[in-house]
Amino acid sequence: MTGLYRLFARVVYALVFPYAGWRAHSGDALWQGRLGKLKDAQERAVWVHAASVGETRIMSYLVTRLLRRQPELDIHVTVMTRAGYATAKSLMGDKCRISFFPLDAPLSMRRFLDILRPRLIVIAETEIWPTLITEASRRNIPVILVNGRMSERTFRRYRLLRRAVGRLLSTYDQLFLKSDADRERYRAFGVPENKMTVAGDMKFDAPLPARSLGRVRELRYRFGLPENAFVWVAGSTRTGEEQQLLALFKRLADKHPLLHLVLAPRHVERAGEIRVLLESIDVDYRVYGESARDELSDNKGNTPRVLLIDRMGLLNDLYLCAEAAFVGGT
């Protein structure tokens, strides 16, 4: 399976290289990173990879703790998306170097490793990158998984390639997992017991931002929420949940005129789909995000009581200024 994956990765690399090379040459940091090109890299750094915005926030706490213990440590963080890059820059830009994760193909991954020459690789949650893991093993670079998890759905999918996945997972030097259930799933793939530690969810180790009246006022002003509103934040919502939430909101809205609902979907690309839903049920709404930063009131100057978020990385601030919260998928 690994050989087939590497062949597939080479084909993909060859197909995207003309476009990627052009974008990298024009100075696009994302594509420079995808091709494994680094500027001013610090050799022998600890390489920390976080795929999503949420993982980036969690790993920023880990980076802070590492640097507190070893201030001289050089850390290089990679991310997958532009939203993740912006989040990493805001949280860790003054502490470490940040770039985009290279394509998991031999040429780009080898180039990246040749430049960075990391002493240790730390990967968050569920990431399995065969080329990275294989190349790191060949170079005797330790690789550890932190905040590791494996959902039942992922477990069933991986079982179709049980032997190959088991070999890759067993290549990790250490796996720090969220729960006993995760350990049982990793054990089913043959991961040695002495490599696994149930360490809990790092999300609960990270310090919560302080809530003060001044901070709440500042955030409400930023999001266009009235200071006296009862703010109900529905975060990380999934398909189908918004319809139920809006039905409940419509029942409550007349009785509670200060009630404001904030919808923050788990996947911001669903914002367009949610806008269609809002318009179909005749609910006045406004949007806050990268694509509509100034859409904070309707054409009559009123402030609609439903706020749709189409930007990543805002949930912590939204929860901070809320009186009530709904967490999607729970």
pLDDT tens digits, residue range 201-250?
988 777 767 778 888 899 999 999 999 999 999 999 999 999 999 999 99
Distance CA 147, CA 50 (A): 11
Task: Tell me the DSSP string of 217-272.
Answer: HHHHHHHT--TT-EEEEEEEE-TTHHHHHHHHHHHHHTT-TTEEEEEEESSGGGHH
Q: Which two tokens stand for residue 215?
A: 């901070």
Distance CA 103, CA 10 (A): 10
Class of domain 2-204: alpha beta
Does this chain's domain 2-204 share its CATH topology with 213-327? yes
Q: Where are the domains of the chain?
A: 2-204, 213-327
pLDDT at site 299: 43
Pick the CATH number of 213-327 from 3.40.640.10, 3.40.50.2000, 3.40.50.970, 2.60.40.420: 3.40.50.2000
pLDDT tens digits, residue range 275-295?
999 999 888 899 997 554 444
Prediction pTM value: 0.77
Residue 256 φ/ψ, nearest 5 degrees? -130, 85
Q: Residue 19, exposed/middle/buried by CB under 10 A (0-12, 13-18, 19+)? A: exposed
pLDDT at site 298: 47
Mean pLDDT by 10 residues, the chain (330 residues): 72 81 86 87 87 86 92 94 88 92 93 95 90 95 95 91 92 96 96 95 77 87 92 94 95 93 91 93 84 46 83 86 90
- E strands, the chain, where? 46-49, 75-79, 97-100, 120-124, 143-148, 174-177, 196-198, 230-237, 259-265, 286-289, 306-310, 324-327
Residue 93 φ/ψ, nearest 5 degrees? -60, -25
Distance CA 252, CA 245 (A): 11
pLDDT at site 196: 97
